[in-house]
Amino acid sequence: MNLCLPVLGFLLLALNSSAAERVALVIGNNAYQELPEHMQLTSPRNDAQDVAAALQKLGYTLVTDGPVMDASQEKIIQTTESFVAQSKNAEAAVFYFSGHGIQVGEDNYLMPSDTPNLNSLEMLKSRAVLLRESIMVELENAGAKHKVIILDCCRDNPFAAQLESALGQTVKAIKTKSLGSGGGGESLGYGPGFYLAFATSPGATAADGNGQRNSLFTAAMLKVLPNSAGKDIDFYFRDVKALLPNDQVSWTEHSITGSFALAPAGIAATPNTHAFFRIDDLFDHTRYEGYNQHSRTLVLKKAQQKLKNAGIYTGGVDGASGPATGAAIRSWQERQGLPVTGRLGEETLSSLDLTEEKEVVLKPTPRPVPAAAATPRQTGGQGAGGSRAPGLPQSSPLSALDENLRAGRISRAAYEQKRRELMLLGR
């Protein structure tokens, strides 16, 4: 099992301020160009996506309108400069980094995706990003009231071995100390308002997602969010810590004065238990998104049956999406440690063993031809070739196409292609 834990930092702000006063920069680095395949990380991109989405829903302004993925040194510096500029006099500024990091002495370095093989301290300083100078000092100078930094970096760091021969005993801190914690952390020596959170305690190893979308730390934070986000931040992280295994204890330190809660006042963290997605939106970003209505209904019926067998769905197995189906999907996702979206996404479908369902295209059912339409000339029909008898509705090609889709006689892809052709012909 790869024990390099990506990061989660998930933070939400506590005071009832405007969206412009809450800013965040979210970075997730999976791919390291100079490292072998088995040393690549698996969860940072996923965690960064989920954290960024959660922060946006809570009113945060992301400086890049989304998470920054596999960021080079240049990209980290550029986005950090924008982040600091937007943090000027902000109520809160949240910096989140998921990826590799190194501590040498009391200095913490974030490792960009283009970090080369490190063989000297000079190379480390020139190619990595120093947390203290590049982020913490700049945020303090910007005047942000609450400065939240979430770091979750691999403790058994692959860069450490590259530096051992060059740095000797100095490098031991890389393996035995977590970033910014233990013996006097980064927050000491600065003014009030800093809060640092780590996925594990000093000297410990944190497990990654182990095949799940999110790391253990991320999953715990998301799980306690609905009931604990309104608490003081220290109590919130105590609830997070309670869900982690005994060999992984989350770690925090801060210089915040007063109380600071994760969920801003007036913004509910509790999900809407009555929400559900229509079947047209239920399979977003999956292979079933392009299936016809009949086929998607069949997949939903199978999902409902599996959820009923699991004892978490009590409604009818009818292929109709509603509040009971939405609640059952969310309960299943929570039970499986998946992102709680209420949709039947790829991961949820996989957990239900429903990823290989085929599209069912129904053959058109022949319709009886009215006697009057079969002999148009005898009934006063027009044209040598014979037309429909007077009084029978004339169906347009587009109407017929829509009817075929609703009846499941054609796939959605075929429907879209034929519809474009008809539109071009002006029919």
| Mean pLDDT across 371-380 | 45
The residue type found at 108 is N
pLDDT band of residue 299 (cuts 50, 70, 90) is very high
Contact 361, 408 (CB under 8 A): yes
List the single range of 186-190, 199-203, 308-312, 377-381 with lowest mean pLDDT: 377-381
pLDDT band of residue 268 (cuts 50, 70, 90) is low
Check residue 51 and give its pLDDT.
Answer: 80
Average pLDDT, the chain: 75
List the single range of 138-147, 161-170, 324-333, 372-381 with lowest mean pLDDT: 372-381
Domains observed in the chain: 19-254 (3.40.50.1460), 279-351 (1.10.101), 361-370+396-427 (no CATH)
pLDDT for 95-141, tens place per residue?
999 888 887 777 788 999 998 877 788 888 899 999 989 999 999 99
Rounded distance, CA 148 to CA 122, Å?
29
| Mean pLDDT across 316-323 | 89
| SS3 per-residue string spanning the chain | CCCCCCCCCCCCCCCCCCHHHEEEEEEECCCCCCCCHHHCCCCHHHHHHHHHHHHHHCCCEECCCCCEECCCHHHHHHHHHHHHHHCCCCCEEEEEEEECEEEECCEEEECCCCCCCCCCHHHHHHHCEEHHHHHHHHHHHHCCCEEEEEEEECCCCHHHHHHHHHHHHHHHHHHHCCCCCCCCCCCCCCCCCEEEEECCCCCCCCCCCCCCCCCHHHHHHHHHHHHHCCCEHHHHHHHHHHHCCCCCCCEEEECCCCCCECCCCCCCCCCCCCCCCCHHHHCCCCHHHHCCHHHHHHHHHHHHHHHHHCCCCCCCCCCCCCHHHHHHHHHHHHHHCCCCCCCCCHHHHHHCCCCCCCCCCCCCCCCCCCHHHHCHHHHCCCCCCCCCCCCCCCCCHHHHHHHHHHCCCCCHHHHHHHHHHHHHCCC
Top-confidence residue, 212 or 178: 212
pLDDT band of residue 62 (cuts 50, 70, 90) is very high
Check residue 337 and give its pLDDT.
Answer: 79
Check residue 392 and give its pLDDT.
Answer: 38
Check residue 76 and give its pLDDT.
Answer: 96
Other Cβ atoms closer than 10 A to 420: 10
User: What backbone torsions phi and psi does residue 287 show, to the nearest 5 degrees?
Assistant: -65, -25
| Mean pLDDT across 44-60 | 81
Percent of the chain with pLDDT over 70: 72
| Mean pLDDT across 392-412 | 69
pLDDT band of residue 208 (cuts 50, 70, 90) is low
Pairing of strands 194-198, 146-153: parallel
Check residue 388 and give its pLDDT.
Answer: 42
Contact 119, 172 (CB under 8 A): no
Check residue 394 and give its pLDDT.
Answer: 47
Highest mean pLDDT among 73-87, 95-109, 314-328, 360-374: 73-87
Top-confidence residue, 347 or 71: 71
Rounded distance, CA 424 to CA 411, Å?
20
Top-confidence residue, 329 or 39: 329
pTM of the model: 0.58
Q: Which residues of 335-374 are buried (b: 16+ CB within 10 A; e: fewer)?
A: ebbbbbbbbbbebbbebbebeebebeeeeeeeeeeeebee
pLDDT band of residue 385 (cuts 50, 70, 90) is very low
User: What backbone torsions phi and psi does residue 69 show, to the nearest 5 degrees?
Assistant: -110, 140
Q: How many CA atoms lie within 13 A of 99 on its CB side?
A: 31
List the single range of 74-83, 309-318, 364-373 with lowest mean pLDDT: 364-373
Rounded distance, CA 408 to CA 291, Å?
9
Of 266, 187, 193, 184, nearest to 19 (Cα)? 266
